[in-house]
Amino acid sequence: MEYMNSIQMLWTLVAFIVFVGILIWAWSSKRDKEFDEAAHLIFDKDDDVVNHQHKSGN
């Protein structure tokens, strides 16, 4: 059963390394522009959609 403890410790270490990697990726200053664009997608309506809604009375 000693190998099970080793596998569990290895899995925990791999999961922690992946977690830290995701944190570094998410908080990287290189991603600021992409995240800002994604955050504002809901507010960026296409003019065609707005014009179509006004014409149809919605």
Q: What is the per-residue pLDDT across 18-34, written as a single tens digit (0 to 9) for each?
A: 999 999 998 888 888 88
- Model confidence band, residue 58 (pLDDT cutoffs 50, 70, 90): low
Tokens of 20: 């830290």
Q: Where are the domains of the chain?
A: 2-56
pTM, entire model: 0.57
Amino acid at 7: I
CB 31, CB 25: distance < 8 Å: yes
**Angle in degrees, CA 30, 35, 40, rounded to 5:** 145
Q: How far apart are CA 7 and CA 31, in angstroms?
A: 34
Please give the Cα distance from 51 to 49 (Å, whole number).
Answer: 6
Q: What is the pLDDT of residues 30-53, one digit of tens each?
A: 888 888 888 888 887 765 555 556
